[in-house]
Amino acid sequence: MKELYTNMDSSRIGLYKSILDEAGIASYIQNENTAQLVNMISPIFQPTLCIVDDDRYDEAVALLKPLNYNETSELPDWACAKCGKSNPGSFEVCWNCESPDGVS
């Protein structure tokens, strides 16, 4: 068993799993419901896509690579209009007050 991808976006992990299933690569989602049950955002509770056959790891990575979005953003940081806190350009809502980008 090897971990392939970890993210709180369970829909993305589900998509990745369905692609692996279609390719005949056995996989499962570890911690599929744990984050919701414990109501915590922590890496140890995040859903994680795992493959069963370690020998197919490189094949799985190559298959999913074109779908994997770049999590680093080239967008400039922005200041929240509501609370003034600085946010990374990739954030669509303020980390502090959850106000949408540029909305007061």
In the block, which residue shows the tokens 């609370």? 83
Mean pLDDT for 5-23 is: 89
CATH topology of domain 2-67: Alpha-Beta Plaits (3.30.70)
Mean pLDDT for 63-86 is: 80
**Predicted TM-score (pTM) above 0.75:** no
Q: Domain coordinates of the chain in residue numbers?
A: 2-67, 73-104
* Residue 33 burial by Cβ neighbours in a 10 Å radius (0-12, 13-18, 19+): exposed
